[in-house]
Structures are given as C-alpha cells and as structure tokens.
Amino acid sequence: MIRVLPMLVAFAAHAEPHRWALALGENRGLADDAALSFAETDARQVLALLEDLGDVDPSRAALVAGADATRARAALTAFEARLAAEATAEDVLWVYLSAHADEGALHLAGTRLPLAELLTFLERAPVGVAVLVVDSCRSGALTRVKGLKPIEGRKVDVVAGALAGRVIITSSGADEYSQESDQVGGSFFTHHLLGGLRGPADASGDGQVTLEEAYAWAYARTVESTFATRGGVQQPRVKVELAGYGALVVTTPQKASSRLVLDAPESGEWLIASLEPNGPVSLVQKPAGPTSVALPPGRYAVRLRTDEGYRERKIDLAVASTVSVRAEQMQGGELVRVALKGPAAEARLQAAVGGAVTSPMLPGLNSAAGAEVRLTAPKLVPGTLNVALALRISGGDSYSQFELEGRLAWLWRWSVSRFALGVGPELGWVVVIQDNLPDDSHRIGVEPYFGGALEGRVRLTGPLSLTVGAGAGALAVKTVASTRAQFRGGGFLGLSFDVL
C-alpha cells in the first residue's frame, strides 16, 4: 500500500485562495494502440466533480478532449500563462490526464507528448500545491522522477512549515496495464476515485473527503477490481514532495443539495449508474450502516450485488432532495464485463490461416504446396503450444501425392512491442496418399516427423497479426524396400487473429 499524508493549504487573511483544474482525455493512441472508450468521458467527469464538490470555479477550469500532442501542448502553455497572471502561492492546482502511454510519453491521436513536459508544467505552476493524476498504462514511470520523494503506505510525514509542494498519483505501476470497465463506463481507477470523492471515502465522517482518504479508497478498490482480470493486478502509485501540515480537502459532499442514501444495515457492493448520457457512475463498497453519496440531479439505476446475483432499482433524484434505497425495494441486475485499457494483453487462443510449402518427401517429387491452419495457446502451459494442420499436394513424373499433416510444437517465446518470436521442438505425422502409381494402384501411409520450429509474429492492428513460420527435421519415410530418414523443411506465411 502507498501512503499519502493529509494535506491542507493554509489560507491567508488578506487573500482568498483559488482552486484550478485542467483535465485532458484522449481515446485515440498510436497506430497500434486499441482505441479507448472512456478516457475523454473520464476527463469530463473529473472536471465536473471538482466543479460540483471541489470548490473549483468553472472559470478556472479547462477541458482538453480529443487532442493530439500539439493541441495538448498549446493548452498546457495557455493554462500556464493564465496561472502566471492570476494564481497565487496559496492556490491549489489539479491536473488530470487519461490516455494511452508508455514509459516515456502519452499517446495522443497518433502523436507522443513526453512525460517530461508534464513534469515541467507541474514544477513551474505558480501555486502552492499542485496535484497531478495520470490514468494511463505504465503511468507509474512518472513517480520515478528525480526530486520527488517515494512514500510507502497511507500516510506521509512532512516537515513543519507552510504547506507547499507537488503530488503525483498514477493509476498503475511502471510496468502495469490500466484497465477500463464497460459496465461502470470508465477506467477502474478513475471510477473508484470519483466514487470515493462523492462521499463513501469520507472515513472520518466529517462531511469532507481529503486527498489521503480519496487515494486510500481508490487504491484498495482498484486492486480488488483488477485482481482476477486478464490485464493483471493494477496498483496505483503516488510520490510526494511537500512541506507543511494539515489535510487537503478535495471535495465536500455535505455541500451537495442532492444525495442518495444506500440504506442497508449490512455491508455490500452497490453500483450507481446514471441513466443520462455521460453521467456519473459509482461502484461503492459500502461498509455496515447507511452510506450517503452526493450526486447531481438525474435518473439513476441502483444495483446491489447479492449471493444470487444482482438486485436493481431505478430512481429519480430531484434538485435539493434525498432518496433512500433499501435492498427489499430492488430486483434484477447484471454482471460486470471487463475490458483492458491500453494495449490488450495477449490472447489466450490465436488462429492463423495461410499458405505452406515443404521440401520433397521422395526423390522424383516436386515440393509440396497447400494451405495450413494454426492454433496457438500462449498461456496454456509454460511457453506456447502450437498446433498445425496442413493439406498439401505434390507431384512427380509418374504419380501424384496428397499430404495431410498434423504437428504439435512447444515454443519458448519472446515479445517486444508488436513483435513476437518463438522457437522450440516439434513432432507430428503425415498421412500420405499416392495415386497414379506405375502399376495403377494407390498407397496410403503414415509417416512420423520430429524436428524444430520457428515462428515470428508482427501485430498489424487490433487482433490481426502477420505470422511467418519455418521448420526443419527428419521424416521417417516408408518405401517398398525399407524405412529411411528423410530431411523435411517447410515454411508458412499467413494472417492470425485473436480468438479468446
């Protein structure tokens, strides 16, 4: 667990401090990145929440959605100029980013924005405290920046004095995927962060949610939500460089005019989904007793997970109203479907179809050519299992030959970016059907094979890859006089696609 200290900006009697917010979301990454579904929506919802419950005046907030690196850089420059003209050393700045990323840059609509530029913007902002939240794959690389102090656990001890400094929070580690959920309509981390800021993360019960409370809430529930997903456990990270004391209040849910009360004595998992376009969604791990959630007016579906499945109720939340929902008032429900945010993890089963050619089986025959189908299971056993079925035809001066071949290979595999290479042993058999023999007869035989296999893959786009394979070994060929070992070499070229 990572530790974050309660933080507070001291207010000077002669000046009213302000809160600023910049949110950037981009669903499109580089050419080989799968399109995201909720990065831009997440950015909008973060900004709306800070304006609604976080004391950020809309005039001091900026949204950058669907922008490439050039437009994002221009937005950062413009916002920095305004801060230089209007911000004070007592102000607080929130910056939220959601997009594809690697260890060195954000991927924005086919372009790259170096993470170093974000850090420079954060350091130069003329405010007392600046908090950067990045929800991207491998965003934990930002927490390795020189000068920011690593903190482990939930609290951060800082030296006494006027509070000032910088905080970086990332949705995942430097080598981890960040993930989206179709059902909750956003990324797991941002979803849990927003849900906690609406009230459930208020561990002290004082009607306010501090940065410490919000982070602890989002961390625990992100780890829990991603524990059994294909993308692997996602662990948010934080680094802090602060001097001061107190608690930085992020939101004040008690100021909200409209509230939903989850009125049940037992603890449980509740899902609150807006029925309005781009509305808020909250997955609440409710403790024992009633829990209040601050929400904007609108229509919502409230779901409770039970041992039998889900129960559901739709409600209308009016302005300046409070609605209580009890379990006995609900019925129905659906399960959550999970998807990866960022580059997808390797599929559990891949299929490939293409052409294949092998060297002649016997003297006097031509090379055999035909079609081949391959099934690859990268995660079934240590290494990769590859099953191939091929139908080939060859001919000679006096007869023709059909070959039906099956092979099983066990490959050691290495992957770098879009490229994968596998090598290992292979065994199989060839069913041989010979027609038009000199005596007008035909022959059927089964010839065993053992050798080595090599396979390379290049991911083209989404689930589609180009696959090249090669193999060489010995084939036990039966002739009229005896059985002999015959060299057998072959190649394959085709397209593969993810099945599972």
pLDDT of residue 362: 72
Res. 77: pLDDT tops 70: yes
Question: Do residue 110 and residue 210 come from a single domain?
Answer: yes
CATH number of the domain residue 125 falls in: 3.40.50.1460
Mean local confidence (pLDDT), 340-354: 67
Question: Do residue 38 and residue 147 come from a single domain?
Answer: yes
Res. 262: pLDDT tops 80: yes
Q: Which residue has the higher pLDDT, 462 or 91?
A: 91
Cα distances (Å, whole numbers) of residue 219 to 170, 204, 213, 288 = 10, 18, 10, 20
pLDDT band at 307 (very low <50, low <70, confident <90, very high): low
CATH number of the domain residue 329 falls in: 2.60.40
Question: Do residue 247 and residue 274 come from a single domain?
Answer: no
Of 341, 371, 396, the last residue of a domain is 341
pLDDT of residue 453: 94
Question: Do residue 384 and residue 259 come from a single domain?
Answer: no
Residue 321, domain extent: 255-341
Q: How far apart (Å, rounded) are the C-alpha atoms in residues 450 and 428?
A: 7
Mean local confidence (pLDDT), 426-452: 83
Residue pLDDT, tens place only, 277-300: 766 677 777 777 888 888 888 898
CB 453 within 8 A of CB 386: yes
pLDDT of residue 176: 56
For residue 260, the cross-strand partners are 293, 323
456 inside domain: yes
Question: Do residue 125 and residue 246 come from a single domain?
Answer: yes
323 inside domain: yes
151 inside domain: yes
211 inside domain: yes
Would the pTM of this model clear 0.75, i.e. be above it?
no
Question: Do residue 333 and residue 358 come from a single domain?
Answer: no
Mean local confidence (pLDDT), 170-177: 65
Question: Do residue 205 and residue 167 come from a single domain?
Answer: yes
Question: Do residue 246 and residue 260 come from a single domain?
Answer: no
CATH number of the domain residue 484 falls in: 2.40.160.20
Q: How far apart (Å, rounded) are the C-alpha atoms in residues 262 and 302?
A: 9
Question: Do residue 273 and residue 223 come from a single domain?
Answer: no
Q: For the chain, what is the domain count?
A: 3
How does 378-417 read in b/e, with b if 16+ C-beta sit within 10 Å?
beeeebbbbebebebebeeeebbbbbebebebbbebeeee
pLDDT of residue 160: 27
| Chain length of the chain | 500
3 inside domain: no
pLDDT of residue 451: 93
pLDDT of residue 93: 94
Question: Nearest Cα to 338, choosing from 238, 418, 234, 197?
Answer: 234
Residue pLDDT, tens place only, 90-147: 899 999 998 888 777 888 999 999 988 988 898 899 998 899 998 876 544 444 333 3
Integer-rounded Cα Rg, in Å, for the chain is 30
Q: Which of 101-105, 224-228, 416-420 has the lowest mean pLDDT?
A: 224-228
Question: Do residue 303 and residue 431 come from a single domain?
Answer: no
Question: Do residue 235 and residue 300 come from a single domain?
Answer: no
13 inside domain: no
pLDDT of residue 51: 93
